[in-house]
Amino acid sequence: MKLARAIAAVAAAGLCTVAAGAASSPAAASGAYRLAGGGLVALVPDGRGLRLVDYRTGALRRLVQRSSSVLVGGPGVAVTAPVRVRVQLVQDGRIRVDGRAGRRLALAVRPASFASGAVRIEGRLLLPAGRGPFPAIVIVPGSVRATRDTYALWATFYAAHGFAVLTADKRGVGASGGRYIRAATEANLRALATDALAGVAWLRRQPSIDPHRIGLAGGSQAGWTIAIAAAASPAVRFAAIQSGPAMSVARQAAYASLTREGALDPPPDDAAIAARLAVTADGGYDPRPALASLRIPVLWQLGSVDKRVNTAESVANLAAITATGAHDFTVRVYSGGAHSLRRTAHGLIAEEVASPGFLPAVFRDLAAWLRTHTG
């Protein structure tokens, strides 16, 4: 609990530079690190402490504090024993991961505050090293009660690849105003899209940001939100979506109910799923008209065994859209990928918790796509 409170205090400071300096306390060690010999890792808060993510291998580990300068992780995302990884915090912005030296990247954090209609949104801007102007990304939240820290793993990845990243407390969460609504009603999705576009507008006013290279990124429910926002504003120049549904809300809900969103073990077979969906009509928000209108680069990263979003139907819908016009859509499906894009056998929630981490190609493909589609 001391570690979690210390991390929260650092995050609440609002204005700091994460650069060379003492990394001898866990709370001060959050950030991205370049490893000697190649590779990029990050220490990110997870509400109870720190997690280690290795963007080269996809490994994701919850860390347990063994001493003031040593943290250890186990074989799975939330499986902390037996010890499989050791992180030593060193002075001057350095760490050692299983003996490999790492030096922290100079990422700066600035407060962000902007209006979305009558709602005030509070968050932060993570800036890469350099003078800019930088390309930028607005992280769009999924259905959870997301704060500016919830997607730190993704924000750190983007910042380490040269992007300024805006993350915020979702409306009705943390310091942001408004009312939090989990359900994917069309009204709620459109309100969240308005928030995302307000973030884009705020970025366009910042002197450190290239106003012609701003995109949206997010996963799960954010796929619908991004479709609405990108179709509504030419200021959105690209989008990267992880496990986002390219189908109507009603059909996604029917699929998720069959699997109990990954809790049903064993999961239903393909025949049972097909039979249920054959009698399920579209309903609620349908992203296909918005997606068909897009002429910007969009990346979808989907798991083959996702038990919350029907990957097969999303892929088929995207293929049908691209067959009708000049779309710059890239679709990647990862074998064994669950909704979280972590490696699993069947996409079950229990497997996601015990997974060793993300499929290795997830971050590699994302980095390559950003290089070629966001210039």
Contact (Cβ atoms closer than 8 angstroms) between residue 286 and residue 248:
yes
In three-state form (DSSP H/G/I as H, E/B as E, the rest C), the secondary structure along 277-323 is HHCCCCCCCCCHHHHHHCCCCEEEEEECCCCCCCHHHHHHHHHHHHC
The span from the first CA to the last CA of the chain, in angstroms, equals 43
pLDDT, tens digit only, all 375 positions of the chain: 444 444 344 343 333 444 444 445 677 899 999 999 899 999 999 877 899 999 999 999 999 999 989 999 999 999 999 999 999 999 888 999 999 999 999 999 999 999 999 999 999 999 999 988 999 999 999 999 999 999 999 999 999 999 999 999 999 999 999 999 999 999 999 999 999 999 999 999 999 999 999 999 999 999 999 999 999 999 999 999 999 999 999 999 999 999 999 999 999 988 989 999 999 999 999 999 999 999 999 999 999 999 999 999 999 999 999 998 889 999 999 999 999 999 999 999 999 999 999 999 999 999 999 999 998
Pairing of β 50-54 and β 298-303 = unpaired
Question: Which of 166, 163, 161, 129 is CA-nearest to residue 146?
Answer: 166
Question: Which of 136, 154, 139 is CA-nearest to residue 42?
Answer: 154
State which amino acid sits at residue 211.
Answer: P
Pairing of β 209-219 and β 164-168 = unpaired
Query: Rounded to whole angstroms, how far apart are CA atoms 210 and 207?
Result: 8
Contact (Cβ atoms closer than 8 angstroms) between residue 356 and residue 77:
yes
Helix (H) or strand (E) holding 136: strand 134-139
Question: Which of 241, 227, 235, 215 is CA-nearest to residue 293?
Answer: 227
Question: Which of 353, 341, 282 is CA-nearest to residue 142?
Answer: 341
pTM: 0.92
The torsion of the CA quartet 314, 249, 119, 159, rounded to 10 degrees, works out to -20
Query: Rounded to whole angstroms, how far apart are CA atoms 212 and 136?
Result: 9
Tokens of residue 94, six digits: 């350095």
Chain mean position to CA 333 = 17
The pLDDT of residue 24: 52
The pLDDT of residue 17: 43
The pLDDT of residue 9: 40
The pLDDT of residue 28: 84
Helix (H, G, I), strand (E, B) or coil at 77: coil
List the Cα angle 75/79/85 in 5-degree steps.
Answer: 40
* Exposure b/e, 186-221, CB count within 10 A at least 16 = b: eebbbbbbbbbbbbbbbbeebebbbeebbbbbbbbb
The pLDDT of residue 261: 92
What's the half-sphere exposure (Cβ side, CA atoms, 13 Å) at 61? 23
| DSSP β-bridge partners for residue 303 | 334
